[in-house]
Structure 1
Amino acid sequence: MSLDTRTVRRIAKLARIGLDEQECEAMRQELDGILGWVEQLNEVDITDVPPMIGTGLAKPRLRQDAVTDGDKRDAILSNAPDREGAFFTVPKVVE
């Protein structure tokens, strides 16, 4: 697949990249090279290749949902400059 200058300008506009004439031609050649490499991938025989594990076949590793460092309310509230019962007290900010 070969790109023309008009298509390269449209891609540059969508990507919000400003290109002058020389840069546009250089970008066209570079994109043609990239598309050439992608077209070569169509020639690879993958009939006996199993899918990779990252395609959604893997099961996520789950852990127990357990509290590991809880029950420290008094130690945490001891750092508060002001408190009322089991709550932090803060200045009123909304009238």
Structure 2
Amino acid sequence: MNETDWRFKIAHREALIGVGLALFNFVWWFGFAYGMGSAPVEEYTYVFGLPAWFFYSCVVGFLVIAVLVIIIVKFFFVEVPFEEEEEEKR
């Protein structure tokens, strides 16, 4: 009997979702940090006293990722028991 445990499918799906969130976080951070931050310092705009590139990449990025993680965990992740199921004896 070479069956794959059903919990592995769930674990793989949730791992891929986690990798997707990490990639999204990196792209968000990189896009704002290097996209807006590559201008000369004299041309920076500021939000709440922080350079706009830093504010959008680090502050807003953190808030966006935190909300996404909460939503993903609440609605897409499922609780999986860690105990091994006893096989029925015939």
Check whether TM > 0.5: no
Q: What TM-score results when the alignment is normalised by the length of structure 1? A: 0.29
